[in-house]
Amino acid sequence: MRVVIAEDAVLLREGLVRLLADEGHEVTAAVSDPLGLVEAVAEDRPDVCIVDVRMPPSFTDEGLRAAIEIRTRWPGTPVLVLSQYVEERYATELLSGDTRGVGYLLKDRVADVREFLDALGRVAGGGTALDPEVVGQLLARATHRPHDELTPREREVLALMAEGMSNAGIASRLVVTEGAVEKHISSIFTKLGLQPTEEAHRRVLAVLTYLEGR
Amino acid sequence: MTLPPPPAAVRTPNPVLLALRAPFEARTWRETFHLLFNLPVGIATFTVLVTGFALGFGLLITLIGIPILIATLYVSRAMGTIERMRARLLLDLDVPAPYRQDPPRDRWWRPYASRLTDPATWTEVAYLLLMLPIGIFTFTVVFTAWVLGISLLFLPAYAWALPNPVHVVDAWVQITLDAHPTAVLVGAPGSRWVIDTPIEFVLVTLIGAAIILLTPWIVRGLAMANRYLVRGMLGSDLVRRVQTLTETRAAAVDLAAEDRRRIERDLHDGVQQRLVALAMDLGRAKDKMDTDPDRAKELVAGAHEEAKLAITEVRDLARGIHPAVLTDRGLDAALSALAARSTVPVTVGVDVSARPPASVEAAAYFVVSEALANVVKHARATTAGVTVRRVDDRLTVQVQDDGVGGATVVEGSGLAGLRDRVRALDGELHLLSPDGGPTVLMAEIPCAS
């Protein structure tokens, strides 16, 4: 996998480069500002970019804006955004339009190497990876709505679905069979009145739209 | 002191209508009563204060004078307070009390000494003493004007019933009845005007009407002068402003120090402990690496968990100092995130067209943050609502819940910290929390941008 990294903190940038190299990925560019990122994407056309939200010059949301720009200029380029904080609002901005090949994770998740690499792989493969904390915020927002009728297990499945996990991923996380997961999912879709769909990213979009709707 | 907002559009009413309406307006009569009451009030204040001070100073040598003087000062404050209240009720004039705040009672005499040397005390005493001559003047003028006007206006109606002669007003104006249905109007002593023809009666009635129409303006002028006096002698915007600024500045400094202490505590007790534990686990793992690789693996796994917890703690701590999303996306986004993290369902409504200054946004954010934390901790509420609105250059933040109420601002508590934070920005924090609920916390912060 060819990866471009944009991260201004040297320690984390170098750490990511080593981590990905260990896994046999090729880091084509590791830059420290949004301009460098856009240039690197234009030149290398990577399989996925890892982008920090806070970067120079103003250290607010440059990375997020660069990520959105990349996705408008080269549609379909997978982007995994890392942030010191995850906020539902950023997620909404990032996911508006197309949830294919988009990830938004708390920087801390890098510490769980295996899960981080899974998420990166999912995004590079056109899937979605949404931080559990964002999903938690969305779920909390929607507490007083009909998904209260969901069973605790179904709520867990709903959260993992919103994070962008595949049926297989959910099954292994909850230590159940894929068949059981499928049953839960169809029950959730029925209870929430959503259109069932096979495609993973459409499914994420449906769940997010449902959770977002106020 | 806050000035009422100017009316949106001032209509120019017909001046004739205005003049005809003036004698019947509530305002005219409130002011009239105020000016009439000046006399009894003046008599009371003058008597009490002169007696009190005379006794107090006279007996100072015997030490009994001291409590008498102190009591007199307290009475004078009470009278000043009543006077401000009277001005608020009858003159529509809101003058805040100008006194210095009482110092702490570390010595018993401190508050008394402070009151004794407070200039506001003495201008107030001067006002209360002046009230007597002022009262005599305003009472005489206003009483004479109204009584003369009314009695002349209705003279034809009762002239027949007057005894002969009768003194209606005083030496300058006498109305006397001469024989039958006639009246005599006497000007300066000696010059008599016998009113006995219908035309003269009409004339007198017209004079009465003119006086009645004129009197409201006399009343208004006197009331205006009275207002200046109250504002100048019973209140002092400058003193109050300086005092408020001094207090809020001290509170803001205290608050900043308190925040630093809290951050230091959190760093020490939380993150540092975790990092120490982490370093210990790693150190032990290093030792065991060769001899007991399985145990080493366990220790590294433990260290990994500790490290992740430390990261989370640092993140939460940083968010508590200043939430990044507030800077990047403003109140709506930051408050939505806050609400989402709350365990009690919260609805958020933010209506802020232009973003307020960063300091105001931060204060509003922390008001909501603390309020929601309290809702979760104490209110036993099932829902809460957050409303933020900006009207002109004021930001209003309101947090309400359907809980059990009974919240109070205790010194040193989170709410007191909020109050100081809001006051440091010239704002106000209001808490309404009757026992049994609901609780409403409201902050109003000016934001000139």
Q: Is B389 helix (H, G, I), strand (E, B) or coil?
A: strand
- B354 within 8 A of A152, measured Cβ to Cβ: no
Could you give phi then psi for residue B174, rounded to 5 degrees? Answer: -125, 140
From chain A, pick out residues whose CB is under 8 angstroms from the CB of B323: 85
Structure confidence at residue A141 (pLDDT): 64
Q: What is the mean pLDDT of chain B?
A: 82
**Alpha carbon B67 to chain centroid, angstroms:** 31
User: Please, is A152 exposed, middle or buried when counting C-beta atoms within 10 Å of its C-beta (0-12, 13-18, 19+)?
Assistant: exposed
pLDDT at B135 over 90: yes
pLDDT at A177 over 60: yes
Q: Which amino acid is at B423?
A: R
- Chain A residue closest in CA terms to B383: A144
From chain A, pick out residues whose CB is under 8 angstroms from the CB of B307: 111
Contact: B336, A61; criterion CB under 8 Å = no
Contact: A60, B318; criterion CB under 8 Å = no
**Span B44-63, mean pLDDT?**
91
Q: Is B429 helix (H, G, I), strand (E, B) or coil?
A: strand
Six-digit token string for B394: 């004021």
Contact: A60, B342; criterion CB under 8 Å = no
Category of B209 on φ-ψ map: left (φ > 0), alpha (ψ -120 to 50) or beta:
alpha
pLDDT at B11 over 70: no
Contact: B325, A85; criterion CB under 8 Å = yes
Structure confidence at residue B295 (pLDDT): 92
Q: Dump pLDDT digits (tens) for B43-53.
A: 999 999 999 99
pLDDT at B181 over 60: no
Contact: B341, A54; criterion CB under 8 Å = no
Q: Is B446 helix (H, G, I), strand (E, B) or coil?
A: strand
Q: What is the mean pLDDT of chain A?
A: 86
Strands A128-130 and A102-106: parallel
Alpha carbons B89 and B109: distance in angstroms, whole number: 35
Helix (H), strand (E), coil (C) string for B336-358: HHHHHHCCCCEEEEEECCCCCCH
- Asked if A54 is an interface residue toward chain B (Cβ–Cβ < 8 A), one would say yes
Contact: A87, B341; criterion CB under 8 Å = no
Could you give phi then psi for residue B401, rounded to 5 degrees? Answer: -135, 175
Give residue A35's pLDDT band: very low, low, confident or very high (50, 70, 90).
Answer: very high
Contact: B323, A85; criterion CB under 8 Å = yes
- B76 within 8 A of B125, measured Cβ to Cβ: yes
How far is the CA of B248 from the CAs of B241, B242, B301, B418, B421, in angstroms? Answer: 10, 10, 50, 12, 8
- Chain A residue closest in CA terms to B312: A108
Percent of chain B with pLDDT strictly greater than 90? 27
Percent of chain B with pLDDT strictly greater than 70? 87
Structure confidence at residue B109 (pLDDT): 80
Contact: A87, B329; criterion CB under 8 Å = yes
- Asked if A59 is an interface residue toward chain B (Cβ–Cβ < 8 A), one would say no
- Asked if A120 is an interface residue toward chain B (Cβ–Cβ < 8 A), one would say no
**Span A3-22, mean pLDDT?**
92
Optimal mutation site among B336, B348, B365, B376, interface A, most CBs of chain A within 10 A: B336
Q: How far does chain B reach from its first CA to its final CA, in angstroms? A: 22
Contact: A89, B336; criterion CB under 8 Å = yes
**What residues contact residue B394 under an 8 Å CB cut-off, 6+ apart?**
B444, B445, B446, B447
H-run or E-run covering B146: helix B119-153
pLDDT at B212 over 80: yes
Of B304, B315, B339, the CB nearest to A85: B315
**Span B111-120, mean pLDDT?**
82
Contact: B340, A141; criterion CB under 8 Å = yes
- Asked if B339 is an interface residue toward chain A (Cβ–Cβ < 8 A), one would say yes
pLDDT at A114 over 70: yes
User: DSSP character for B159?
Assistant: G
- Asked if B325 is an interface residue toward chain A (Cβ–Cβ < 8 A), one would say yes
- Asked if A182 is an interface residue toward chain B (Cβ–Cβ < 8 A), one would say no
Contact: B324, A112; criterion CB under 8 Å = no
From chain A, pick out residues whose CB is under 8 angstroms from the CB of B343: 140
- A51 within 8 A of A37, measured Cβ to Cβ: yes
- A70 within 8 A of A107, measured Cβ to Cβ: no
User: DSSP character for B255?
Assistant: H
- B155 within 8 A of B183, measured Cβ to Cβ: yes
Percent of chain A with pLDDT strictly greater than 90? 38
From chain B, pick out residues whose CB is under 8 angstroms from the CB of A144: 345, 383
Structure confidence at residue B12 (pLDDT): 56
Least confident of A29-33, A205-209, B254-258: A205-209
Higher pLDDT, B339 or A37: A37
Q: How far is A56 from chain B (nearest CA, A)?
A: 14
Contact: B333, A111; criterion CB under 8 Å = no
Structure confidence at residue B6 (pLDDT): 44
Six-digit token string for B288: 């065991």
Structure confidence at residue B240 (pLDDT): 63
Higher pLDDT, B184 or B317: B317
From chain A, pick out residues whose CB is under 8 angstroms from the CB of B350: none
Helix (H), strand (E), coil (C) string for chain A: CEEEEECCCHHHHHHHHHHHHHCCCEEEEEECCHHHHHHHHHHHCCCEEEEECCCCCCCCCHHHHHHHHHHHHCCCCCEEEEECCCCHHHHHHHHCCCCCCEEEEEHHHHHCHHHHHHHHHHHHCCCEEECHHHHHHHHHHCCCCHHHHCCHHHHHHHHHHHHCCCHHHHHHHHCCCHHHHHHHHHHHHHHHCCCCCCCHHHHHHHHHHHHHCC
A and B: number of Cβ contacts within 8 A: 54
- Chain A residue closest in CA terms to B341: A137
Q: Dump pLDDT digits (tens) for A66-101.
A: 999 999 999 889 999 998 877 777 888 888 767 789
Between CA B318 and CA B324, with CA B320 as vertex, the angle to 5 degrees is 60
- Chain B residue closest in CA terms to A64: B328
- B177 within 8 A of B164, measured Cβ to Cβ: yes
pLDDT at B156 over 70: yes
Alpha carbons B131 and B230: distance in angstroms, whole number: 10
pLDDT at B173 over 80: no
pLDDT at B165 over 90: no
- Asked if B64 is an interface residue toward chain A (Cβ–Cβ < 8 A), one would say no
- Asked if B312 is an interface residue toward chain A (Cβ–Cβ < 8 A), one would say yes
User: Please, is A9 exposed, middle or buried when counting C-beta atoms within 10 Å of its C-beta (0-12, 13-18, 19+)?
Assistant: middle
Alpha carbons B29 and B42: distance in angstroms, whole number: 20
Give residue A208's pLDDT band: very low, low, confident or very high (50, 70, 90).
Answer: confident
